[in-house]
Structure formats: C-alpha cells, structure tokens
Amino acid sequence: MRPAIFPLQPDPGCLLLLLVSWLFNPARSEITSLDSGNIDDILNNADVALVNFYADWCRFSQMLHPIFEEASNVIKEEYPDKNQVVFARVDCDQHSDIAQRYRISKYPTLKLFRNGMMMKREYRGQRSVTAIADYIRQQKSNPIREVQDLEEISSLDRSRRNIIGYFEQKDSDNYRTFERVANILHDDCVFLSAFGAISKAERFSGDNVIYKPPGENAPDMVYLGSLTNFDLIYAWTQDKCVPLVREITFENGEELTEEGLPFLILFHMKDDLESLEKFQQEVARQLIGEKGTINFLHADCDKFRHPLLHIQKTPADCPVIAIDSFRHMYVFPDFSDLSVPGKLKQFVLDLHSGKLHREFHHGPDPTDVAPGQPIQDLASSPPESSFQKLAPSEHRYTLLREKDEL
C-alpha cells in the first residue's frame, strides 16, 4: 500500500499549532478507534460515520490526524448525540483485515458510512477543518425536497432520474425508510416527497413511491413492494438510480476503480448514441447475471485516445469494446459481433476463467487453434507484449494514468 497525495498543503504555522494541540490535548479527541471487535456495532448504529483509514508511518496520515480530530470536535458541538455523527479511525497496519475488507489502497482514505453501509464516494475534498466539517453538515442535510403543489411534478427536470414518494404523513415508518434510501442514493437520483392533502390524489391505494426515468415521454414505474422493507426498496431504487452502463470520466474513474471490479468498456464517439444503445441492450440481454462481477462502462473516444493507442486503436476505430482487468486490457474482436447471441457474455466468461489472461501471454488455447495451424509451445513465455506497459503495478485504473499525459 502507498500514501496518497495530500490534496491540500496546509499553512505550516497552522499545521504546527494543530500538531502541538493534538499531542498535548488528546483528551479533547472524539475519535473512535475501530477494530474487528467493535467496527460493525459502531458503524451500524451511526446515522453518519466518517472513518479515517491511516498508517502511522505515512506522513500524510500524520498531517491529517489533528485536522480530523479538530473537525470532529467542531461537529460534536452541533450534533451532540453520539449516534448522529461518528468520527472514527482504523490503523491499517494493525488491522489489515479491515483495510482489505474496505479495499483501502492508499493512505489516508476517508470513507463515509450510513447505518453501517459504506458509501461508494469517498471524501475527496480539502483536508482542512472547515472543509471536513462542511462536508458532514452537507451529509446531514435533508436530501428530499418537499413538494408543496403537484404542479411542481410536471415541471421536473426530465433529464434527471426522479424518485417521488407520496405519503399520508411524514412521521411514519414508510417515510423513514424512504428517507434512509434517499440519504444513500441522493447523488444518483433526485428525491421528492409530498404529504397529506397534497399527495392524496397519488395515494389511491396507500402510500406510494414512483420512479420517473429520464425522457419526457418515458413512462413512470411504480414500486410494488413493502415500504417498510429497507432492503427491498433500496434494491429497487438503486436499480433505477444507478444505470447498468455508466459513463467513465477522469473525474469518477478512481471511484469506479475502488469498487474493485474489472471494467467492460465501450469506447465510442460522443455523438455515436446508436453504438451506445446497442451496447446497453446487449449488456442487459446477455450480462445482467454478471452484474456485481464486472462494471459496465462507456467512454468518450476523443477524451481517452491515449489508452486506445495502447491497444493499437484510434478514435477512427471506434466503437471499440475492451476489458480492463487492472492487469491488462483485452479487446473484443469485432464490434459487429456484439449482437451475436452469447458472444459478449463469452468474452466476459473468458475473463473470469482466466482464458483471456492465458491467451494474452501464451497465444490461443490448443482447442481454439484452427486445424493445421501449429500450436505454440505453452511451456515458454513469448516476448513481452506491446500491451505490457498497460499492466499497472498498483491497483489503479489504466485510463487514469493517461490524464497527466494529455
């Protein structure tokens, strides 16, 4: 593991004062130290928890300690209930099992948890008391906009994904479950609610939650499960709010990498929506069962022309489909084969079975060699592939390393 680049270079004088305060006033600290014995209990009972994954030998971790603790003290004055906001830390050298569980690959890493569930977006803001405190205040703000008139629904931004809850009253188990879901998924969807007489017209069969997908003419979808079953409504809402095929950019690439899954990527020109639609359809048709084992993504060919060059492609070759396993990139042979039944699925299965990696180094498997074609000696390794420079020595997404070369 390695230290991260500290996003903010604090003023040396301020940092020295914070370090002195941290060394000589440890009693003020509200930081909870987590270990394998208490981590689940503490995080599960916290509305919001910000966890600092650190290593004592890392100087950036050392710089963050006093800042993190002072931010905790500030927030504790505003949210005194111990379960409202928890500031916690994990010594990753002492608790490597916890670091592995949460895929910590750099120090320090600040991750947000809600009722024990880790949020996919870690804290990437400035490492300052003010910035961290403001971030927590933002996390504690209400993610749901209350509708005062149903006419507001007709003027929603239909380029966004909208989830609307219609409830008889706010003080109800149904709404509290809806609120928990909104707290987790508010970065992916717009959440709205209406109550009492305002919502009555939409509550013909009781409290109701609907999804309005992007597009002016896209039909609404109604949630039909129990509104008090968090797992059910969360799974339904996540399915609606997080598209099966997501766009990767330089801004979100690191977040996607930290999910720990290989990437199946369509490289396409920005205005080539036809290829994107075909890819989305085939992923839904062939690979829905692989969700959770690989991330389905699409990328702008112009923005990511450098990685295309690494696989001997240019934007003129787009659309191109490839897998990034974090060790190598493997190219889907022919985009025109995308709609061949089972072809894309087999490509992904060959990744999981190790066949793509094996053939990357040793050529086609003997069973794949055409009759009469000589079989390569599998006992000896071929010369280094021209793709070898793509294999990162650390668990970082290949495309991100190209950003600095642009």
Query: How many C-beta atoms surround the C-beta of residue 193 within 10 A?
Result: 22
How much is the pLDDT for 28? 56
How much is the pLDDT for 191? 97
How much is the pLDDT for 111? 95
Residue 21 lies in a domain: no
User: Got the DSSP string for 150-180?
Assistant: THHHHTS-TTS-EEEEEES-SSSHHHHHHHH
For residues 178 and 125, membership in a common domain is answered with: no
Alpha carbon of 11 to those of 14, 15, 16: distances in Å? 5, 6, 9
For residues 213 and 328, membership in a common domain is answered with: no
d(CA 232, CA 223): 10
For residues 224 and 301, membership in a common domain is answered with: no
pLDDT tens, residue by residue, 152-192 = 998 999 889 999 999 999 999 999 999 999 999 998 899 99
Q: Is 372 exposed, middle or buried (0-12, 13-18, 19+ CB in 10 A)?
A: exposed
Q: Is the pTM of this model over 0.75?
A: no
How much is the pLDDT for 22? 47
Q: What is the CATH number of the domain that holds 222?
A: 3.40.30.10
How much is the pLDDT for 374? 46
- Percentages helix, strand, coil for the chain, rounded to the nearest 5? 40, 20, 40
Closest by alpha carbon to 120, among 27, 255, 321? 255
How much is the pLDDT for 363? 77
For residues 255 and 385, membership in a common domain is answered with: yes
The segment with the largest mean pLDDT, out of 22-31, 100-109, 162-171, 214-223, is 162-171
345 Cβ contact partners less than 8 Å away, ≥ 6 residues apart = 286, 287, 290
How much is the pLDDT for 105? 81
Asked whether the predicted pLDDT for residue 293 surpasses 70, the reply is yes
Domain end call among 106, 140, 174:
140
Residue 26 lies in a domain: no
Percent of the chain scored above 70 by pLDDT?
Answer: 83
Cα of 380 vs its chain's centroid, Å: 40
Asked whether the predicted pLDDT for residue 226 surpasses 90, the reply is yes
For residues 206 and 278, membership in a common domain is answered with: no
For residues 134 and 188, membership in a common domain is answered with: no
Residue 405 lies in a domain: no
d(CA 271, CA 292): 29
Residue 399 lies in a domain: no
Asked whether the predicted pLDDT for residue 63 surpasses 50, the reply is yes
Residue 11 lies in a domain: no
Cα of 60 vs its chain's centroid, Å: 24
d(CA 341, CA 130): 55
Q: Copy the structure tokens of residue 24.
A: 């000589």
Cβ pair 360, 385 in contact under 8 A: yes
Residue 8 lies in a domain: no
The H or E element containing residue 39 is helix 39-44
Asked whether the predicted pLDDT for residue 400 surpasses 60, the reply is no
d(CA 320, CA 157): 32
| Mean pLDDT score of the chain | 84
Q: Can you tell me the mean pLDDT for 83-88?
A: 94
How much is the pLDDT for 298? 96
The H or E element containing residue 131 is helix 129-140
The H or E element containing residue 246 is strand 245-247
Q: Copy the structure tokens of residue 377.
A: 């000696």
Query: How many C-beta atoms surround the C-beta of residue 402 within 10 A?
Result: 18
pLDDT tens, residue by residue, 200-213 = 999 988 999 999 99
Choose the weakest-confidence range: 94-98, 133-137, 242-246, 394-398: 394-398
Q: Can you tell me the mean pLDDT for 6-32?
A: 52
Residue 272 lies in a domain: yes
pLDDT tens, residue by residue, 317-359 = 999 999 998 888 999 999 999 999 999 999 999 999 999 988 8
User: Got the DSSP string for 249-284?
Assistant: -TTTHHHHHTTT--EEEEEE-TT-HHHHHHHHHHHH
Q: Order the strands of the 85-91 sheet from edge to edge.
A: 31-33, 85-91, 48-54, 109-114, 117-118
Show the domain range for 114: 32-140
Cα–Cα–Cα angle for 228, 231, 233, rounded to 5 degrees: 60
How much is the pLDDT for 75? 95
For residues 293 and 178, membership in a common domain is answered with: no
Q: How many domains does the chain have?
A: 3
For residues 265 and 233, membership in a common domain is answered with: no
For residues 276 and 384, membership in a common domain is answered with: yes
For residues 325 and 267, membership in a common domain is answered with: yes
Domain end call among 140, 161, 190:
140
For residues 148 and 230, membership in a common domain is answered with: yes
Q: Can you tell me the mean pLDDT for 232-236?
A: 95
Asked whether the predicted pLDDT for residue 77 surpasses 60, the reply is yes
Q: Can you tell me the mean pLDDT for 352-375?
A: 71
Q: Which residues pair with 299 in a beta bridge?
A: 267
Residue 237 lies in a domain: yes
Position 233 confidence tier, pLDDT thresholds 50, 70, 90: very high
Domain end call among 193, 216, 241:
241
Position 260 confidence tier, pLDDT thresholds 50, 70, 90: confident
How much is the pLDDT for 82? 85
For residues 212 and 98, membership in a common domain is answered with: no
Asked whether the predicted pLDDT for residue 7 surpasses 50, the reply is no
